[in-house]
């Protein structure tokens, strides 16, 4: 497969060296079997480098995150690590027994029962029958009651959640030294996800290595020791999780998803979207961007400017606040409020929030303008501005909203 390699030091679990992977994209005409036969292997195609000279050391015992937008090459890199795909250039060396959970149901045989698939999978991962026998109950137990009940049914009758549960349960219970997981957790329910994360923690406490591909940026930032960011097949950043996640979010905001005009009626453009607390504090991030800092409960002003070439009657303006993992935290709009009857040329819209009741954390702000129905966006800028909420002495730190209530009771009666 690859050139002979010098052995890895124990401190490195996976060494990725100058890995490039191309998929040939054949032009439509040459996709037919007939054309391929006539042309032999010389059909016309475009080279499509999905991984481009990626080098990376994943430290032994670390939980390592891989982020990047759709199609950036994350799954391809993971498949190369798992030897499901072979890089065109470069090499990957893995220290220790590896198990991977990469595609939903990959490695399962649809006609076989859950039980038979456990044995099949275990064998593929290098376990003897006896070793699988010993682990069987643990596997089924972790997968949950639903899977246990269906264990003798053909696996093609399983729901996606059941697939993932069984697949994950096999992958973690064969005691791999290196575990690769690609996003699949999103399919499980919340309780299962929580158990999986707990399992990752046990894994790293045991000194095992986990590589995790995910779009759940706050979990990545919280769980991983290091994060790598792939874009267009290139490795852009490797480093401290929050810094890499922040850098990634910045391009998300100012790049591709920055402006989506969805309406047939042209002409309103939003700009200068901002949030400001009454104390106007800023920080500067690693990538040199200014980030507004507010405090839980502080008065906040949200602002946007608009510019239009033609008048619009009864436009609806809205702000959106998202957590870093993409949950919509708030979405105030001018429906039901005395918004402008008509806008012409340009202006600004401001929302004063008397008390910003977000728990401490990082958020993004976006803005949108809709037509009078409130259904068709004329311009929308999602997750454009990042801001931080701090809350020294703030007792509410979890969830999204701080309720800011007052506790009462006989034992609370201090003045
Ligand atoms: N088997 C394949 N044949 C041809 N092209 C492929 C193949 N697998 C992936 N690609 C292409 O490679 C690129 C990277 O795909 P990959 O699945 O690695 O992205 P990803 O980062 O995992 O994306 P996502 O976040 O959507 O899961 C995409 O442009 C995809 O279309
Ligand atoms: Mg993928």
End-to-end CA distance of the chain: 75
Pocket of ligand 1 (CB under 6 A): 23, 50, 68, 70-76
Taking the CA of residue 69 as reference, the ligand 1 atom at the shortest distance is 25
The pTM of the whole model exceeds 0.85: no
Q: Distance from the CA of 216 to the center of ligand 2, in angstroms?
A: 13
Q: Whose CA is nearest to atom 24 of ligand 1?
A: 70
pLDDT tens-digit readout, 140-197: 999 999 999 999 999 999 988 888 889 888 888 888 899 998 876 666 677 777 788 7
Q: Distance from the CA of 37 to the center of ligand 2, in angstroms?
A: 32
Rounded to whole angstroms, the Cα distance separating 63 from 289 reads 28
Rounded to whole angstroms, the Cα distance separating 371 from 265 reads 8
Nearest CA-CA partner of 211 in 52, 109, 96 = 96
Taking the CA of residue 74 as reference, the ligand 1 atom at the shortest distance is 21
- The helix or strand, by DSSP H or E, that contains position 248, with its residue range, turns out to be helix 241-254
Best of 22, 23, 87, 211 for a ligand 1 pocket test (most atoms within 8 Å of beta carbon): 23
Q: For the chain, which ranges sit under pLDDT 50?
A: 1-4, 30, 253-265
pLDDT of residue 21: 96
pLDDT tens-digit readout, 28-61: 554 555 555 555 555 566 678 899 999 999 999 9
Taking the CA of residue 213 as reference, the ligand 1 atom at the shortest distance is 22
Four-residue CA torsion sign, 112, 115, 118, 120 = negative
Going along the chain from its start, the domains and CATH numbers come out as 12-252 (3.40.50.300), 260-390 (2.70.50.60)
**Angle at which helices 114-124 and 129-143 cross, to 10°:** 130
């Amino acid at each position: 497969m690859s050139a002979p390699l010098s052995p890895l030091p124990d401190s490195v679990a996976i060494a990725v060296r100058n890995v490039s992977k191309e998929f040939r994209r054949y032009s439509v005409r040459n996709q037919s079997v007939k054309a391929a036969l006539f042309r032999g292997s010389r059909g016309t195609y475009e080279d499509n480098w999905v991984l481009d000279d990626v080098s990376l050391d994943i430290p032994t015992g670390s939980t390592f995150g891989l982020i990047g937008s759709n199609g950036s090459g994350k799954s391809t890199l993971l498949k190369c690590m798992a030897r499901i795909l072979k890089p065109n250039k470069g090499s990957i060396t893995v220290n220790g027994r590896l198990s991977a959970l990469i595609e939903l149901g990959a490695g399962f045989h649809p006609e076989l029962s859950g039980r038979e698939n456990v044995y099949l999978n275990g064998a593929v991962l290098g376990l003897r029958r006896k070793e699988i026998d010993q682990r069987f109950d643990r596997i089924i137990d972790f997968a949950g009651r639903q899977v246990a009940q269906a264990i003798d049914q053909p696996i093609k009758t399983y729901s996606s959640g059941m697939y993932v549960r069984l697949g994950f349960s096999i992958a973690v219970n064969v005691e791999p030294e290196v575990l690769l997981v690609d996003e699949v957790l999103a399919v499980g329910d919340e309780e299962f996800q929580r158990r999986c994360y707990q399992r990752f923690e046990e894994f790293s406490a045991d000194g095992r290595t986990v590589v995790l591909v995910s779009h759940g940026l706050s979990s990545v930032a919280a769980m991983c020791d290091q994060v790598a960011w792939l874009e267009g097949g290139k490795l852009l950043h490797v480093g401290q999780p929050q810094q890499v996640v922040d850098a990634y979010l910045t391009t998300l905001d100012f790049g591709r998803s920055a402006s989506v005009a969805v309406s047939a009626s042209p002409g309103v453009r939003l700009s200068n979207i901002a949030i400001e607390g009454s104390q106007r504090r800023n920080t500067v991030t690693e990538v040199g961007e200014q980030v507004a800092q507010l405090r839980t409960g502080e008065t906040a002003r949200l602002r946007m400017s608009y510019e239009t070439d033609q008048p619009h009657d009864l436009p609806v303006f809205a702000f959106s606040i998202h957590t870093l993992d993409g949950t919509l935290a708030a979405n105030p709009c001018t429906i039901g409020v005395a918004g402008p009857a008509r806008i012409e040329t340009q202006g600004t819209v401001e929302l004063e929030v008397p008390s910003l009741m977000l728990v401490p954390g990082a958020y993004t702000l976006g803005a949108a303008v809709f037509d009078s129905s409130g259904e068709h966006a004329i311009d929308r800028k999602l997750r454009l501005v990042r801001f931080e909420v701090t809350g020294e002495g703030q007792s509410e730190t979890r969830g999204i909203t701080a309720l800011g209530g007052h506790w009462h009771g006989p034992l609370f009666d201090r003045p």
